[in-house]
Amino acid sequence: MCISKQGVYHCRFIKWTAYAILIAETLAYTDVVFEYMDAVAFIVIQSTILTAGISTTLTLAIRHYMRVKRIKKIWKTDRNRR
């Protein structure tokens, strides 16, 4: 995950982690204002949201890596046959 010269991240799957952080922070803010959750439920929900965001990002990135690796392998073997 590096930044190009244009300042754009190459990993497009990191947005799911950002979405999870946004949802978790929104939930935390609304809980402070309205106090509608007890502490244990709040911790469980927060950790579940963050874990889901990070695991989604990792799963999508690994699937993408495996797909690219397979395509490059097919292209490389096809080029060697010619």
**Per-residue pLDDT tens for 23-69?**
999 999 999 999 999 999 999 999 999 999 999 999 998 998 888 88
H helical segments located in 1-38: 15-34
What pLDDT was estimated at residue 3?
Answer: 52
Which tokens is 63 given? Answer: 């699937």
Tell me whether residue 34 is in a domain: yes
Q: Give 66 or 7, the one with higher predicted confidence.
A: 66
Tell me whether residue 1 is in a domain: no
H helical segments located in the chain: 15-34, 39-81
Distance CA 41, CA 38 (A): 6
**Burial (0-12, 13-18, 19+ Cβ within 10 Å), 44:** exposed
What pLDDT was estimated at residue 14?
Answer: 83
The domain tally of the chain equals 1
Range of the domain at 55: 12-81
Tell me whether residue 45 is in a domain: yes
Tell me whether residue 69 is in a domain: yes
Global pTM reads 0.74
Beta bridge partner(s), residue 9? 3
